C-alpha cells in the first residue's frame, strides 16, 4: 500500500510542478487564471485563492492550468469573462515566458532530485557499468517462437567491449541495449542492421550485425530489436553447495573463477553452458587471496525435475499431465492411491471442476511410475477418478486420447553461487539529465523513423508509468527516484515539441504572432488546438490500453506456475 501511495504521489508531483511553473509565470505576467486542477474529470474538492479555483479531480492522470488568454479553447473549457484587472492582450514574450516555465520547473525538479542521487547514490550491480560482452544467448524469443541466435559466432566474441552503437558512444550496457532496441538501421534488402564499434584486445573493430526482433515482455506484439547479448558478471563465489563437485574440489567462498580448461570465463551463464557439453573432469583456474591456483573438479548430473505422463486428445492438444507427488524413491511403497496428481503444462484453464494438484485415484496393484503407463496402454480406461481438495471424488471422461512419457530433466552442475554485491553508483546531476534527455530524443526519432521497430504501442501511458513506479517503489526508493528524474526530463522534452496545445506549440504561436502581427490566423490555430487535444487524448487511451494489456500478459496463468512447482524436485 505504501508503494502505491508513493507512486501516485510522485507521479502527481511531476504534473503539479509542471503546472505550478505555468501558474506562477501567468500570475507574474498578470494573466487571468480561473482554474488549477490536479487530475481530470469530476472535482473531488476545491477551494478558491486569489481568484483561482484549485481542484483535486477524480482521475489522477495529469493536470492543467486553465489560461483562456493563452489557449482559446471555448469549445472544450467554456468561455471565461476576463476581468478588467487582468492583462487583456498578450505579447509574444508573455506567451513564451508562460509556456517555458512548465518544462523549466520539471527540469529544475529533476536537477534537484538528481543532485540527491548524486550524493547518496543509486543501487546497482557491478555489471551495470560494464560494456563488455559476457554471454551471447543461444536462442532468442521472437513473435514466431524461439529461434537460434543468428549473431552467435558471426563476429561478436565474449570479452568484446562495445564502444559505440550506430555512431553514438555508450557508457553502460543498459545504454547499449537501449540503442540497439530503438535503432533504425537497415540494409538494401530491408533487413535490420546495427553498426558497432568494439575493442578486442588492443584493436578497435567495426562490426555490422543483424539484430532480431525479440519479445522482452510476455506479449508477442511488443517485440524490439536485440542481439541477444548480456554483460560480463561477477564470478566471485558467494556460496558452495555441500557435497557438490565444487566442495569436493576444494573451492572456497571468496574465490574468483578465472578460467575453465584454459578458457577465460566472462559470466556464470558462460560457465554453465561450457560444463554441459564437456566430460565430467574439468580444470578450474581460481584467484584466492591474490594468488592464482589450479583445481581439478569432477562434475555430476543433478536431476531438477520429475518424469511425468502427458495426455493429449485426438488433435494433439494437451488434456492434462499426471505427475508423481513424491520423489521416485518413495513410489515403490504400498498404498499408492493418490500419489499422482493432475497438472497443466500449457497455459490453459483446468477442465471441468478439476484443479492442478487434485490427486489421481489408481488401482491398488499399481506400484511404480512405469505401471501407470502400462495400465493406460493395456486397459485404455475411458475415465480417470480424482480426489479433490475438499475430499470429493470426480470422474473425468477421457474419450479418445493418447499419452507420452516426458523424461526427467537433469543438469550438470558445479555447485556454486556467484551473487554480485550491490554497489552505489554516483552519477553527476548533469550526466543523469543528459543521459535521460538523449534517450528521450533517440526514442522520439526512432518513433518517427519508418525503418525503426519502435511503434506507438511501445509508448507508456499513465497506467504504465504508475505500474513501473509501483514496482520500483517496492524494490528501492532510490531506484524509484532515478525513474522520477527520467520522468521529469521526458515531460520537459515532450512538452517542448512544436505541436499545438503543447508548450512548444505556444512558442511557435508566439513566433508567428510576432512575425505576422494581425495577419496571424488565430481561428485556424484554435481549431488545430482542439484537434490536437483529441489526438493526444486518443494517444493516451491507446497507450493506456497497451499498458493494461502488458499488465495482463505479465501475470502468468496460475496453472502454469503450479505445474512448474509440481514437476520440480526439492533438494
∠ CA 340-341-344, rounded to 5°: 135
Burial of residue 49, with CB atoms counted within 10 A of its CB: 0-12 exposed, 13-18 middle, 19 or more buried: exposed
Q: Is 19 a catalytic residue?
A: yes
Task: Please say whether the dihedral angle defined by the alpha carbons of residues 507, 509, 512 and 513, taken in this order, is positive or negative.
Answer: negative
Distance between CA atoms of residues 10 and 466, nearest Å = 9
Q: Which residues contact 171 (CB under 8 A, 6 or more apart)?
A: 129, 131, 435
Distance between CA atoms of residues 448 and 446, nearest Å = 5
Q: Residue 498 carries which DSSP code?
A: S
**DSSP readout, 300-328?**
EEEEEE--EEEEEETTS-EEEEEEESS-G
Burial of residue 456, with CB atoms counted within 10 A of its CB: 0-12 exposed, 13-18 middle, 19 or more buried: exposed
**CB distance 6 to 480 below 8 Å:** yes
Strands (E), 365-408: 383-387, 393-397, 401-406
Judged by DSSP in three states, 264 sits in strand
Calculate the alpha carbon distances from 540 to 494, 543, 547 in Å: 13, 5, 10
Among left, alpha and beta (phi > 0; psi -120 to 50; other), residue 248 is alpha
Residue among 19, 292, 417, 557 flagged as catalytic: 19
Exposure string over 340-373, b if 16+ CB within 10 A, otherwise e:
bbbbbbeeeebeeebbbbbbbebeeebeebeebe
**CB distance 106 to 49 below 8 Å:** no
Distance between CA atoms of residues 9 and 529, nearest Å = 30
Which residue is it, cell 488545430? Answer: 528
SS (HEC) of 417-468: ECCCCCEEECCCHHHHHHHHHHHHHHHHHHHHCCCCCCCHHHCCCHHHHHHH
Q: What is the CA radius of gyration of the chain?
A: 31
∠ CA 23-25-31, rounded to 5°: 75
Query: What number of H helices and E strands is found in the chain?
Result: 13, 29
Distance between CA atoms of residues 405 and 422, nearest Å = 44
Distance between CA atoms of residues 1 and 470, nearest Å = 9
**CB distance 7 to 471 below 8 Å:** no
Distance between CA atoms of residues 492 and 506, nearest Å = 14
DSSP bridge pairs for 239:
417
Active site (catalytic) residues: 19
Amino acid at each position: 500500500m505504501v508503494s502505491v501511495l508513493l507512486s501516485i504521489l510522485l507521479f502527481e508531483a511531476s504534473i503539479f510542478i509542471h503546472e505550478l511553473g505555468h501558474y506562477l509565470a501567468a500570475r507574474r505576467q498578470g494573466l487571468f487564471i480561473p482554474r488549477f486542477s490536479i487530475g481530470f474529470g469530476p472535482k473531488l474538492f476545491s477551494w478558491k485563492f486569489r481568484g483561482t479555483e484549485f481542484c483535486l479531480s477524480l482521475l489522477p492522470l495529469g493536470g492543467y492550468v486553465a489560461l483562456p488568454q493563452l489557449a482559446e479553447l471555448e469549445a472544450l473549457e467554456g468561455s471565461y469573462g476576463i476581468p478588467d484587472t487582468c492583462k487583456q492582450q498578450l505579447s509574444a514574450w508573455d506567451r513564451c515566458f508562460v509556456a517555458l516555465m512548465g518544462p523549466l520547473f520539471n527540469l529544475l525538479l529533476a536537477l534537484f532530485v538528481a543532485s540527491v542521487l548524486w550524493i547518496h547514490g543509486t543501487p546497482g550491480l557491478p555489471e551495470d557499468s560494464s560494456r563488455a560482452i559476457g554471454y551471447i544467448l543461444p536462442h532468442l524469443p521472437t513473435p514466431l517462437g524461439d529461434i537460434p541466435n543468428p549473431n552467435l559466432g558471426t563476429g561478436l566474441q565474449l570479452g568484446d567491449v562495445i564502444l559505440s552503437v550506430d555512431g553514438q558512444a555508450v557508457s553502460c550496457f543498459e545504454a547499449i541495449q537501449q540503442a540497439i532496441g530503438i535503432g533504425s538501421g537497415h540494409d538494401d534488402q530491408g533487413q535490420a542492421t546495427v553498426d558497432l564499434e568494439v575493442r578486442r584486445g588492443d584493436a578497435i573493430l567495426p562490426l555490422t550485425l543483424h539484430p532480431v526482433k525479440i519479445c522482452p515482455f510476455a506479449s508477442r506484439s511488443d517485440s524490439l530489436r536485440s542481439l541477444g547479448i548480456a554483460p560480463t558478471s561477477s564470478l566471485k563465489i558467494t556460496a558452495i553447495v555441500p557435497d557438490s563437485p565444487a566442495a569436493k574440489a576444494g573451492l572456497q567462498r571468496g574465490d574468483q573463477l578465472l578460467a575453465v580448461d584454459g578458457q577465460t570465463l566472462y559470466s556464470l551463464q558462460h560457465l554453465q553452458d561450457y560444463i554441459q557439453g564437456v566430460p565430467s573432469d574439468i580444470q578450474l583456474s581460481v584467484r584466492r587471496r591474490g594468488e592464482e591456483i589450479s583445481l581439478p573438479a569432477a562434475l555430476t548430473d543433478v536431476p531438477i525435475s520429475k518424469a511425468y505422463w502427458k495426455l493429449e486428445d485426438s488433435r494433439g492438444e494437451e488434456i492434462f499431465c499426471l505427475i508423481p507427488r513424491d520423489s521416485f524413491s518413495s513410489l515403490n511403497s504400498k498404498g499408492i492411491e493418490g500419489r499422482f496428481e493432475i497438472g497443466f503444462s500449457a497455459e490453459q484453464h483446468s477442465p471441468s471442476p478439476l484443479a492442478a494438484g487434485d490427486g489421481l485415484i489408481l488401482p491398488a496393484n499399481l506400484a511404480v511410475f512405469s505401471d501407470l503407463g502400462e495400465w493406460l496402454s493395456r486397459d485404455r480406461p475411458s475415465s480417470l477418478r480424482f480426489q479433490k481438495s475438499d475430499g470429493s471424488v470426480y470422474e473425468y471422461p477421457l474419450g479418445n486420447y493418447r499419452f507420452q512419457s516426458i523424461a526427467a530433466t537433469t543438469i550438470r552442475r558445479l555447485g556454486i553461487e556467484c551473487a554480485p554485491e550491490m554497489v552505489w553508483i554516483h552519477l553527476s546531476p548533469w550526466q543523469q539529465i543528459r543521459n535521460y534527455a538523449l534517450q528521450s530524443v533517440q526514442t522520439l526519432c526512432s518513433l518517427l523513423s519508418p525503418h525503426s521497430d519502435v511503434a506507438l504501442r511501445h509508448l507508456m501511458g499513465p497506467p504504465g508509468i504508475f505500474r513501473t513506479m509501483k514496482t520500483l517503489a517496492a524494490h528501492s526508493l532510490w531506484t524509484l527516484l532515478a525513474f522520477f528524474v527520467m520522468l521529469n526530463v521526458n515531460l520537459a522534452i515532450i512538452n517542448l515539441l512544436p505541436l499545438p496545445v503543447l508548450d512548444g506549440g505556444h512558442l511557435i504561436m508566439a513566433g508567428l504572432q510576432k512575425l505576422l502581427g494581425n495577419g496571424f490566423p488565430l481561428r485556424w490555430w484554435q481549431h488545430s488546438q482542439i484537434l490536437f487535444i483529441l489526438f493526444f487524448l486518443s494517444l493516451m487511451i491507446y497507450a493506456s490500453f497497451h499498458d493494461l494489456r502488458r499488465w495482463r500478459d505479465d501475470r502468468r496463468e496460475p496453472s502454469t506456475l503450479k505445474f512448474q512447482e509440481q514437476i520440480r524436485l526439492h533438494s
